[in-house]
Amino acid sequence: MTKQFVTDLAVFGGPPAFTEVLHVGRPNIGDRDRLLARIDEMLDRRWLTNHGPFVAELEAKLAAFLGVKHVIAMCNGTVALEIAARALGLNGEVIVPAFTFVATAHALQWQEITPVFCDVDPQTHLLDPARVEAMITPRTSGIVGVHLWGQPCNVDALAEIAQRRGLRLLYDAAHAFACSRDQRMIGNFGDAEVFSFHATKFFNTFEGGAVATNDDDLAQRIRLMQNFGFTGLDTVVYIGVNGKMSEVSAAMGLTGLEGLDTFVAANRRNYDCYAAALAGVPGLRMLRYDRQEHQNYQYIVLEVDEAAGISRDVLVRVLHAENVRARRYFYPGVHRMEPYRSYFPHAGLLLPVTERLAGQVLVLPTGTAVSPDDIAQIAQLIAFAVANGPAISRELNRLEKSAA
Ligand code: T4K
C-alpha cells in the first residue's frame, strides 16, 4: 500500500503495510516430507541422541561440503564456542570484536577469560588486524575473529599476527556457513571455526552448531569435552560438558543441506531486489557481498547516516509499526552490555567505529519467507521515510510531548 502523506504511516495511526509481521531470521524449513520421514525413521529406531546415525551422517556431509577434516556437531553455537575456546587452552585475555552477538564474548567470560574488545573496519564491520596487534598484552592467549554477516575476516593478516605472537586463532563463523574465502570454505581457517545452526541462521538444526577443524588432536579434545570426557562406557579421562546435538536436530540439518541451493537462491534474489530498490536513496549504504565467492546472502545490512535525514532508530520505529521487524544488530555493542559495561566502562573510547555502527546499522527481513513484492514494499517504505525524515521526526516529537 503506497503512503502518500506522513500521516498515512502506521506509526501515526495509518493501516500497516503488512498484515503479518515480517521477521529477520525467519527459519528456512526445507522439504517438510523429507524431514517428517526422517523423524519417523528416528522414532522407529528409538535412538534420539548420543551420537546417533543422523548426527554421524550430518557430520560426514558437513565435512565433505566444507572440505575440512573434522566437523563436530553441537547442541548450539554458544556451547560450541565455549568448548572450542577451552580445548584450545584460551585463558587470560582474548581479543574479540564488540560489534557481534553477545555470545561471542559470553563464551569467553563464562570461563573467566577476559574479552578484550577491538574495533572493526568501517567498510566490512570485521575485526581490524592493525588494531588487534595494538591490543596484545603479555596476558593475551588468543584472538576470536567473527566472520560477521558471512564475510570472511582478514584471515591472512590474523593468521600472521597469531603465528608471530604465539596466539591461538579461533573464528566465530556463526553467520558464515556456506561462505568462502578465495573459494576455500569457511571452516578451514584458524585453529578452529564455530558455526551456529540456530533457527534464525541460513542453515538451521532448530538449535545447533558445529566446530570445524583440520587439527586431529584438537578435534579429539573437543569430542571428549563435548561428551563429559567419556572415552568408554565407564571411563572418563577429561573434564567435559554435554554439548551433543540431538538426532531430531541432525534430521533437520540433513534436510536443510538438501535445500541449501534453494535457500541461497532465495537470499540472493532478495539481496538483488533490495540493492536495486534502495540504490540512490540518500544516506543509506547497503553492505555488498563479494559475488566471486560462495555466499549465503543471509543478512541485508544497511547503514543509515546523517545524509538520510532520519535516524536509524526513527526508521526502525516506522518500519516496526508497518510490521517490518527490522533489527538493530548489534546495538548497543557488546561492550555496552553487562557484565562488560561494568567491567570496562571506558571501552567505547577505543571503539569509535563500533560505536558509530551500533547507532547506524539495521538488518532487514530476508530468506525464503520474504518475496520480491514484500521487498518492493519495504524499500518503498524506507524511501518514503527517508524523503520525509525531518517531518516524521518532528511529528513523533510533537506526539511524545503531547502524551507526556
Ligand atoms: N556468534 C554470533 C556472531 C551469533 O550471531 C550467534 C547467534 C552466536 C554466536 C551464538 O549461536 P547460538 O548459540 O545462538 O547457536 C538471534 C539468535 O537467537 C541467535 O542465534 C543469533 N546469533 C542472533 C544474531 O539472533 P535474537 O535475540 O535476535 O533472537 P530473536 O528471538 O529475537 O529472533 C530473531 C528473529 O527471528 C525475530 O524477529 C523472530 C524470528 N524468529 C526466531 C525464531 C527463534 C522466527 O521467525 N522463528 C524462530 O523460530 O538472537
User: Do the domain assignments include residue 59?
Assistant: yes
Residue identifier of the C-alpha nearest atom 25 of ligand 1: 200
CA of 26 to the centre of ligand 1 (A): 10
Same domain, 23 and 37: no
Q: Taking the complete model, does pTM exceed 0.95, yes or no? A: yes
How many helices (H) does the chain have, and how many strands (E)?
A: 14, 16
Give yes or no for residue 147 CB within 6 A of ligand 1. no
* Ligand 1 atom nearest to 76, measured from its CA: 15
User: Do the domain assignments include residue 294?
Assistant: yes
CA of 197 to the centre of ligand 1 (A): 10
Which of 233, 258, 283 is the last residue in one of the domains? 258
* Ligand 1 atom nearest to 208, measured from its CA: 15
Which of 224, 258, 292 is the last residue in one of the domains? 258
Q: Which CATH number characterizes residue 154's domain? A: 3.40.640.10
- The number of beta carbons lying within 10 Å of the beta carbon of residue 339 is 10
pLDDT tens-digit readout, 348-382: 999 999 999 999 999 999 998 899 999 999 999 99
- The low-confidence residues of the chain, meaning pLDDT below 70, are 1
* Ligand 1 atom nearest to 21, measured from its CA: 38
CA of 200 to the centre of ligand 1 (A): 5
Same domain, 57 and 79: yes
Q: Note down the domain range covering 272.
A: 6-28+260-326+365-403
User: Do the domain assignments include residue 193?
Assistant: yes
What cell was used for 286? 547497503
Same domain, 102 and 241: yes
**Burial code of 166-190, b = ≥16 C-beta within 10 A, e = fewer?**
ebbbbbbbbbbbbbbbeebbbbbbb
Give yes or no for residue 199 CB within 6 A of ligand 1. yes
Phi, psi torsion values for 153, nearest 5 degrees? -60, 170
Residue identifier of the C-alpha nearest atom 41 of ligand 1: 26
Locus of grid cell 538520510: 308
Q: Which CATH number characterizes residue 399's domain? A: 3.90.1150.10
Q: Checking DSSP bridges between strand 209-213 and strand 70-74, what pairing results, if any?
A: antiparallel
pLDDT given at position 2: 79
pLDDT tens-digit readout, 71-81: 999 999 999 99
CA dihedral 292, 80, 69, 228 (to 10 degrees): -170
User: Do the domain assignments include residue 352?
Assistant: no
Locus of grid cell 555496552: 336
Helix (H, G, I), strand (E, B) or coil at 342: helix
pLDDT given at position 1: 61
Give yes or no for residue 325 CB within 6 A of ligand 1. yes
User: Do the domain assignments include residue 342?
Assistant: no
Phi, psi torsion values for 306, nearest 5 degrees? -55, -35
* Choice from 101, 120, 323, 329 to test ligand 1 binding pocket (greatest atom count within 8 A of CB): 101
Same domain, 15 and 102: no
* Choice from 200, 201, 246, 363 to test ligand 1 binding pocket (greatest atom count within 8 A of CB): 200
User: Do the domain assignments include residue 348?
Assistant: no
Same domain, 158 and 136: yes
Same domain, 138 and 266: no
Burial class (CB in 10 A: 0-12, 13-18, 19+), 360: buried
**Angle separating helix axes 247-258 and 260-278, nearest 10 degrees:** 60
pLDDT given at position 368: 87
User: Do the domain assignments include residue 349?
Assistant: no
Same domain, 221 and 92: yes
Asked if 27 and 336 touch (Cβ cutoff 8 Å), the reply is: no
Which of 243, 258, 273 is the last residue in one of the domains? 258
* Ligand 1 atom nearest to 25, measured from its CA: 36
User: Do the domain assignments include residue 358?
Assistant: no
Give yes or no for residue 150 CB within 6 A of ligand 1. no
Same domain, 170 and 51: yes
Q: How many domains does the chain have?
A: 2
